Amino acid sequence: MSVVIDKVLKQHTITPPTDSTAFNARLLALVAKRERLLPVEHRAIKLLTDEIAKVEAEIHNSNAAKTAVDCAMIDPVVFSWTRRQHAWGRAKGWLPRVQLDVPSLAYLPLDKAAISIKVDIWGTRHDEYQPEPPECVLHEWQKIVNGIRSQLSPNKVLSVRLTYSYHGVVPERIRQIINKEEREARFDALGLVCDAYWDISRIDAPPRKLLDPILVGVKDDSLWVIEAFDPTPLESYIANEFTA
């Protein structure tokens, strides 16, 4: 298994509590305590208001967990991880080579052949995400994109485009799980979280062993782990399916 994917599964998944009763009781107690305070006690009011906001967020996570029973939620911070890759940038009349810190993980919807991120020197309004990822992924990727933008220059590199596509075949066991999830409609969408090496502008991603992706469901602006799997290399699939 990919070191990055293994780290996600072992260290960066969250299983929120499915019973929010305790949270609701705590919330009511905090609200009652705040209402007893006088305006002169504004600092205490501020502290209690902050604590109430935290409990409300925990209740939201608890309710979200009920929609994804038996699934762990991926901590969105994993989409801020980076790796360094070489790239050609688009400049005025020439293509300089640069090194960029790009996302270590990609989110690829099952109904798309590839995803791409265009980073433009002229600001976020010129950036492109095709297709646009879930908000929790986009929020973390935007930090990386801003870091890439800081390496661009009007006299050197104007823009770069990152593209990722999945090069394996989904095993039959996982295909059956996908069919089951689509029938039950527990999630708004299904996709793969992949340890990604990107094609960047005119440089293809370096050859790598096909790494294990995670099948995830998207619900309540969160990604939920359904199953990690060992993909079937395309060459093996062709050999098994079309040769005697």
Q: Are residues 150 and 190 in the same domain?
A: yes
Whether residue 4 is contained in a domain is answered as: no
Of 51, 66, 81, which one is at a domain's C-terminal end? 66
Residue 3 lies in a domain: no
Q: Can you give the residue range of the structural domain that contains 149?
A: 73-242
Question: Is residue 139, in this structure, part of any structural domain at all?
Answer: yes
Mean pLDDT of the chain: 81
Is 13 a domain residue?
A: no
Residue 181 within any structural domain of the chain = yes
pLDDT of residue 110: 95
User: pLDDT tens digits for 107-166?
Assistant: 999 999 999 999 988 877 778 999 999 999 999 999 999 998 888 777 666 788 899 998
Of 94-98, 99-103, 163-167, 229-233, which gets the smallest average pLDDT? 94-98
Predicted confidence (pLDDT) per residue in 34-81, tens digit: 888 888 889 999 999 999 898 888 776 666 555 544 688 899 999 999
Q: Are residues 126 and 203 in the same domain?
A: yes
User: Is 47 within a domain?
Assistant: yes
The reply to whether 51 and 78 lie within a common domain is no
φ, ψ of residue 231 to 5 degrees: the values are -70, 155
Measured between alpha carbons, how far is 212 from 192 in angstroms, rounded to an integer? 10
Nearest to 157 by CA among 206, 122, 125: 122
Spatial contact of 18 and 241, defined as CB atoms under 8 Å apart: no
On whether the CB atoms of residues 162 and 144 are closer than 8 A, the answer is no
> Are 87 and 167 within one domain?
yes
Q: Do 194 and 85 sit in the same domain of this protein?
A: yes
Partners of 190 in beta bridges:
217
Does some domain include residue 31? yes
d(CA 40, CA 53): 21
- Are both 130 and 212 inside the same structural domain? yes
Q: How many domains does the chain have?
A: 2
